[in-house]
Amino acid sequence: MKKRLLVMGLFLLVGFGALFGFDLFRKMQMGKAMASYQPPPVLVNALTVNERSVPRSLEAIGSLEAVQQVTLSPEIDGRITQLHFKPGALVKKGDPLIQINDGPEQGDLQRLRAQAKLAKINLERSTKLLKLAVAQSEVDAQQAALDEVEGEIVRTQALIAQKLIRAPFAGQLGVQRVRVGQYIKQGDELVTLTDTNNLYLNITLPEQAHAQLRPGLTVKFSVDALPKREFIAKVVAVEPQIGTDSRAIKVQAHLQNPKGELTPGMFARAALQLATEEKVVSVPTMAIDYSMHGDSVYVIQKQKTDSGEQLVARRTLVKTDGQVGDDMVVREGLKPGQLVVIAGHVKLQDGAAVEITKSTTLDDVARKVLSRPE
């Protein structure tokens, strides 16, 4: 019995030893296989970095404002006796708009003219009799009386003029806010008048742009009401002070609006055009990989291996400086002549082997990736 147990123990020991040895051998072989395994190159689309001329611009938002716009108000109280306009009408400078009751002033003017006529007659008579029977003091008194009446006439005419409200400039009237017979007071809003032919575009820019700003620069802008249209304005003024609260600079540009397509108050998306910059490095926007650690691109380099040379992608941090069309300007991190990945980033990591496809579109790259055997 002891011999049988001993033999069985030896058999078990040999069996377990063989199993353990086989498992160890299998793991060693798998480790060697994994160590020597080389994943297939990632298919990418690449582009050679070149220098180009870049039209520079500063993006901004702003609003439109009429060069001339006013809300007409009376200078004195009174009752409206006549309206000479229709809401929304185009008027010329000096056109009568609103008549306030000026009956008492018209009566005063008629009386003063009669007094002036009499004072003039008395002055002429006294002047003729100066050397015969009239003293110089009497002539002077008659002259003073005439001057006083004429002064009152001028004052009354000014009061009458205040009661006829005229258009201070040519433009378009707004909504009518008053009616005939209504009693109005000084400062009441009657109607708006806007010159829609000449507009200002007011935009704000960060203080870093101060050195680049000057009158005469072109501003291209669009408005939400006409999304497919582009309009142009010229800078006429740059605020000499920087806002202490916003740290921004106010810029005002002027434009003509003969067709009345634009309206004061419209929101505008603007781009202030700067001088074209020569020899600038740029890459397609799709080549940029954005992350919390910074912007980067994959630069393709040659690397020596045991079997020869292969292409690998190296992640390279870059410093960008704004977008121009479909390209992104790169200030630091790239040099002309380098090869960067513009499609196929999904499976890429730093140091991964790559194969440059001849595809020119992302769809071509996707089809080739999907058709490749695993």
Question: Would residue 14 count as lying in a domain?
Answer: no
Dihedral sign from CA coordinates of 171, 177, 180, 185: negative
CA–CA gap between residue 89 and residue 95 (Å, rounded): 11
* CB-based contact 359:368 (threshold 8 Å): yes
Domain match, 294 and 348 both: yes
Determine the structural domain holding residue 359 and report its residue range. Answer: 37-54+278-371
- pLDDT, position 304: 79
| pLDDT at res. 188 | 92
226 and 251 share a domain?
A: yes
Residue 28: inside a domain: no
**Which residue shows structure tokens 């730093």?**
350
Q: Are residues 303 and 188 in the same domain?
A: no
pLDDT in tens, 137-184: 777 888 898 899 999 999 999 999 999 999 999 999 999 999 999 999
| Enclosing H/E stretch for 65 | strand 50-66
Structure confidence at residue 247 (pLDDT):
86
Count up the domains in the chain and report the number: 4
The CA-CA-CA angle for residues 155, 158, 164, to 5°, reads: 150
Q: Determine how many CB atoms are found less than 10 A away from the CB of residue 117.
A: 12
pLDDT of residue 44: 83
Judge if 108 and 122 occupy the same domain. yes
Same domain? 79 vs 182 = yes
Is 235 in contact with 251 (CB distance < 8 Å)?
yes
Same domain, 296 and 366: yes
Do the domain assignments include residue 24?
no
> Can you list the residues of the chain whose pLDDT is less than 70?
7, 16, 22, 25, 29-39, 130-134, 306-307, 358-374
**Would residue 366 count as lying in a domain?**
yes
**Domain-embedded: residue 293:** yes
Residues 158 and 113 in one domain: yes
Distance CA 43, CA 48 (A): 16
Write down the pLDDT at residue 373.
47
